[in-house]
Structures are given as C-alpha cells and as structure tokens.
Amino acid sequence: MENLLSNIKIQVNEKVYLKDPDSSELGQKIIRGSIDLIDEIGFEQFTFKKLAADIGSTEASVYRYFDSKHHLLVYITLWYWGWMEYRLAFGLTNISSPEKRLKKAIKILTEVIEEDSTFSHVNEIKLNRIVISESSKIYHCKTVDEENTAGFFHAYKNLVQRVSDIIIEIDPEYKYPHMLVSTIIEGAHHQRFFAEHLPRLTDVIEGEDAITVFYQNMALGQLKK
C-alpha cells in the first residue's frame, strides 16, 4: 500500500491502555515486540516477561502500559479495525456505483494484507495473521459485556455500519445488512485460517483469490437492485 498520509495516527479507545503506547519509544517497542512475539509463539504462550526480555525492558515497565495481556490484544485488534476503516475510507472514495463500492469494500476487508509503510511501528502482515488467529478471543470471554459497555467494540461496529450503509443503498429492503457484513469479515478470517491449517474445511483454488471472490458473489447475490 502506498504511503497515503505521513502524519496520521490510528486512535484506540483510551480505556484499553493505562498509558498510550503511541506516546513513547518504549510504548512503540511494546506494540512492535508484541506483534512479533504473538505471531511467533501464539497468544497463550505469550507473556509480558518474554516480551520484556525481547525488547530489552522489564515486566513491570510493560505493566505500566497495559494491565493485562488481554488488554494488549484488545489494543492491537482495535488498532487493526481503525486501520481497516482508514483503508476503507480511502479505498472507496470517488466510486459512484454502490455495487462497485461494495465489491471494493469486500476486497479490502477480505484480501491478503500487504505491508503499509505509513505506520512504521506496525507490521501489518503479522498483525493480520494475529487478527485472523487470535482476535476473536477479545470478545469470546466472560468480560465481553463490560468491555462492550466501555466502548471497546465501537471501531468494529463502525466498520460494519459503514459497509451496511452501502448495502442499504443497493437494496433498501434488505433485512440483514449487519449480519451479512459481519459474516463476511469473520468468515474471511476463518477461511484464511482454514486454508492454512484445515484445508478440507474450505476450497483453495489455484490462481484465484477464492475467498474474496466467494464473499463478493455471496453479497451481490443476496441483494436485489
């Protein structure tokens, strides 16, 4: 992805962190190091102690930024949703046909991620892998309602709403726009994971991005014009 803006910052809900990791060098090292380490060993094996060793800091210092590894995972996931919304906003400008806009939106949401040099402390390829394999853990937990009340999922809801609006523009009678969009987003993550680890649960097709094509067909096929 080309560098679109040089001074943009993805905002993440303030309640997720104790101290904004974007505000200091150590904070940025925590984010960069976490993305590297979670991608490498998985969220269950990931600890603040291992992270601190990796980035040359201490466990106690990491705890000054996040009060748990769960919140750190929430942070990087919300950052990802914020980044996706930014990609969508840019990707959809100047496309007047709502069908084309929807198709492009689905492509942006489901395609394989390439590195984005705009945000130097984030490796978007690793981040995408983490979101695919780990991010559902941020809501599949007993604290989900509390976290929802705290507004943690606004970024995700905004993204879903933005695409739902395009769907309603195409077919104002359509009854399930949010269901359709969240099915596409979550579904694409699952299919990418299955393609890598459990291929008999999906259909990998040589020479085409079957996942993106599948969800584009699915969405357009559902809507009347």
Partner DNA sequence: GCAAATATAATAGTAATACTATCATAAAAA
Partner DNA sequence: TTTTTATGATAGTATTACTATTATATTTGC
Write each residue from 152 to 171 as x if it is in contact with a copy of itself (CB under 8 A), else as -, in one continuous string.
-x--xx--xx----------
Tell me how far apart the alpha carbons of residues 6 and 118 are, in angstroms, rounded to a whole number.
Answer: 6
Read off the tokens for 147.
Answer: 């976290």
Spatial CA neighbour of 132 closest among 196, 75, 177, 200: 196
What track of x and - describes contact with a copy of itself for positions 26 through 45 (by CB under 8 A)? ---------------xx-xx
CA–CA separation, 121 and 6 (whole Å): 13
Angle at 126 between CA 160 and CA 203, to 5 degrees: 65
Is residue 137 at the binding interface for a copy of itself, with CB under 8 A as the rule? yes
Q: Does residue 12 sit in helix, strand or coil?
A: coil
Q: Determine, following the binding rule CB under 7 A, whether residue 143 of this chain makes contact with DNA.
A: no
- Minimum CB distance to a copy of itself, residue 111 (Å): 15
Q: Is 25 in the site for DNA (CB under 7 A)?
A: yes
Look-up of token digits 């998985």: 42
Out of a copy of itself, DNA, none, what residue 220 binds, judged by CB under 5 to 8 A for its kind, is none
For 56-176, where are the alpha helices, taking DSSP H only? 59-63, 69-92, 98-110, 124-134, 144-149, 154-170
Minimum distance from residue 58 beta carbon to a copy of itself (Å): 25
Identify the residue whose tokens are 């933005």.
162
Euclidean distance between CA atoms 93 and 3, whole angstroms: 16
Q: Please, which residue, 113 or 131, has the CB nearer to a copy of itself?
A: 131
- Are residues 150 and 75 in contact, defined by beta-carbon separation less than 8 angstroms? no
For residue 140, the 8-state DSSP code is S
- Nearer to DNA by Cβ, of 9 and 178: the residue is 9
* CB nearer to a copy of itself: pick between 90 and 176: 176
**Binding to DNA by residue 137, rule CB under 7 A?**
no
Candidate list 13, 47, 61, 136; residue touching a copy of itself; CB under 8 A: 136
Residues that bind a copy of itself (CB under 8 A): 41-42, 44-45, 133-134, 136-137, 139-142, 144-145, 148, 153, 156-157, 160-161, 175-180, 182-183, 186-187, 190-191, 193-194, 197-198, 200-203, 205, 210-211, 214, 217-218, 221-222
Residues that bind DNA (CB under 7 A): 19, 24-27, 45, 47-50, 56-61, 63-64, 67-70
